[in-house]
Amino acid sequence: AQTVTQSQPEMSVQEAETVTLSCTYDTSENNYYLFWYKQPPSRQMILVIRQEAYKQQNATENRFSVNFQKAAKSFSLKISDSQLGDTAMYFCAFMKSTETSGSRLTFGEGTQLTVNP
């Protein structure tokens, strides 16, 4: 079974600054995907970024980027130029790659990020 650990229950950052959220995972799988989802106060789960384990290049989506260290089983999220709208609970998630569809997401405990004006 896979486990995902987010060791920072809460973090805060000043508007326009940069913040990094940590995530580690444990798996015996070689092929898998990693995700960051955000959950703002509306409770909607919104995809932030995705990383394929077979890709060495770190994924980037505008102000969001990841630092994927496969050997260390680490997957951190960096948010640049933080905005008030980034305030949310951030979940790191693992999904193993299978030949059939429908593989589950396993989530970490979440990190509550607050962006202060």
Partner 1 sequence: AAGVIQSPRHLIKEKRETATLKCYPIPRHDTVYWYQQGPGQDPQFLISFYEKMQSDKGSIPDRFSAQQFSDYHSELNMSSLELGDSALYFCASSFRAFSTDTQYFGPGTRLTVL
Three-state DSSP at 86 gives: helix
For the chain, counts of helices (H) and of strands (E)? 0, 12
In the complex with partner 1, the residue whose CB is nearer, 9 or 18, is 9
Residue 35 binds partner 1, judged by CB under 8 A: yes
In the complex with partner 1, the residue whose CB is nearer, 13 or 95, is 95
In the complex with partner 1, the residue whose CB is nearer, 15 or 109, is 109
Return the ∠ at Cα 34 (arms to 30 and 37), rounded to 5°.
Answer: 165
Q: How many residues bind partner 1 (CB under 8 A)?
A: 24
Residue showing tokens 């509306």 = 42
- Residues within the interface to partner 1 (CB under 8 A): 33, 35, 37, 42-47, 50, 91, 95, 97, 100-110
